[in-house]
Amino acid sequence: MKAHIHFRAKVTESFYVNGDSAGKRIQVPTLKRIHCNMQEFRIHPKWGSYANSDLFIGMLAGIRCNLFGESGVLKLDAIPDGVTVDTSGFLAEVTIEV
């Protein structure tokens, strides 16, 4: 059983001093309940008992840190397992399966 976290964000591109592209990236926001499909989290075997708890926000912070590091940067050339990115629109749509 999977639970999903979904958000939209702007894709930015970094450049080296010589003008070459350093890659495209997305700054992952601080994850909150509004980003989560709470119905899926409530019935999930691992997350269900914490979904309505004050501990849940800390668990979301842990998910963000484990996937994207302390900086919270999603590099589009190194997307982690369980993360999908749709860049077809103005804002990228990111879905995380946990």
What tokens appear for 24 in the block? 């495209």
Q: What is the pLDDT of residue 22?
A: 83
Write out pLDDT tens, residues 44-80: 999 999 999 999 999 999 999 999 999 999 999 999 9
Compute CA distances 90 → 10, 13, 26, 77, whole Å.
8, 14, 13, 19
Half-sphere CA count of 72, side-chain side, radius 13 A: 11
Q: What is the pLDDT of residue 19?
A: 84
pLDDT of 1 > 90? The answer is: no
The pTM of the full predicted model, rounded to 2 decimals, is 0.89
Domain spans of the chain, in order of start: 4-97
Length of the chain: 98
Residue type, 59: M
Quick one: pLDDT band at residue 16, thresholds 50, 70, 90? confident
